[in-house]
Amino acid sequence: MRLALLMVPVALVLALPCGARSQPSVTTRAEAAVRAAADAWTSAAAAHDGNRMGEFFAEDAFVMYPRPVATIGRAANRDAWVEFFKHPKANHPVTTDSVVVAASGDLAYTQGRWALSYDGAQGPVRAGGRYIAIWRPIQGAWRIVALSANEHRPPPAIAASPK
């Protein structure tokens, strides 16, 4: 009987680590939340919904699209997407190829590919490249706080050095 009474606390102690491991980690939960937010953002792009895309940016988001100046803030980024989708036959697919979450679970980045096409004044316009977006939870929702998109194009020719 005495041995049986000793076994109960031992069994409880041994069961605790197993139960703790069955709970998703902070980073696992954050990764799932970031992936869901990124998927919703890319779905908004596929639906040509610039207003919805804008909702995923933080109020002070700093974004470097492939153009000369940064687009800063949620409203400016929303406006950029709304304006883009006004082009005839505008299309802007975006993928999320990976999600990486900091060990603290309060910062993450996604990286993926983007493409765009539309009918411009001089004919069809096409571009594409890669992006990296930094996400942070703000008031219960993961938001893009910084994004940089690079365009795939050949580098400029390097002039031969004078002899």
Q: Determine which of 23-37, 57-71, 77-91, 108-122 has the lowest per-residue pLDDT on average.
A: 23-37
User: For residue 153, what pLDDT band results from cuts at 50, 70 and 90?
Assistant: confident
As a whole number, mean pLDDT of residues 131-150 equals: 97
As a whole number, mean pLDDT of residues 114-128 equals: 95
Q: Please provide residue 107's backbone torsions phi and psi, each rounded to the nearest 5 degrees.
A: -155, 140
At the top level of CATH, which class does the domain 25-151 belong to? Answer: alpha beta
Query: Chain centroid to CA 152: how far?
Result: 19
Query: Chain centroid to CA 129: how far?
Result: 15
Q: Give Cα separations from 57 to 77, 91, 144, 162 (angstroms).
A: 7, 20, 5, 48
Structure tokens at 25: 């980690």
User: For residue 11, what pLDDT band results from cuts at 50, 70 and 90?
Assistant: very low
Per-residue pLDDT at 37? 98
User: For residue 21, what pLDDT band results from cuts at 50, 70 and 90?
Assistant: low
